[in-house]
Amino acid sequence: MILVESDTSEEWDSSTGWAALADQAVRSAIAASRHELLLRSPVSFEISVKFTDDEEVRALNAAYRDKDKPTNVLSFPMVEPALITAFDAVGEGEALLGDIVLAHGVCAAESRERGISMEDHAIHLVVHGALHLLGYDHEIGEEAAVAMEKLEREALASMGITDPYPAEARP
């Protein structure tokens, strides 16, 4: 079972159902991943998604990544990817998979620059963050990056969202 908790700061448009979008994005990412069985697991896996401002993300980025600037999304895994399957094998209990944090100003600027809705861009970033929590990492090499982007495309397509990666940028 997947439990998605979310927290939304006032910068994010209150007329948008960010919690429901986060839940859908996390579930789609899991469904596209090698951990798809988690969706039907008796173990309760929790993911926290926080929609906040650039300053909070800048502070987190500085504290945990030594990068004193805001970024669009940060992921903080709480479980080693190899242990995710072990939790599921136990058949009961609960585990916090981790936290995903999005910066409003960065997300808004990127969505304007790309000519896409803020909602679609935020969903993409939550999918991206959820895949990081599941052990995927685009920064370890080209093959891993291509594999992660493929999963992102699959998850987004399942929600009717257009491929965020331009064809000309693909290897």
Name the binding residues for Zn(2+): 128, 132, 138
Phi-psi region of 26 (alpha: psi -120 to 50; beta: other; left: phi over 0): alpha
Q: Decide: residue 116, CB within 10 A, 0-12 exposed, 13-18 middle, 19+ buried.
A: middle
Point out the annotated binding site.
128, 132, 138
Q: 65-88 burial, b if ≥16 CB within 10 A, otherwise e?
A: eeeeebbbbbbbbebebeebeebb
* Spatial contact of 32 and 154, defined as CB atoms under 8 Å apart: yes
For 120, how many CA atoms within 13 A lie in the half-sphere containing its CB? 18
**β-bridge partners, 74:** 101
Task: Find all residues with CB under 8 Å of 87, minimum gap 6, and list them.
Answer: 43, 45, 79, 93, 95
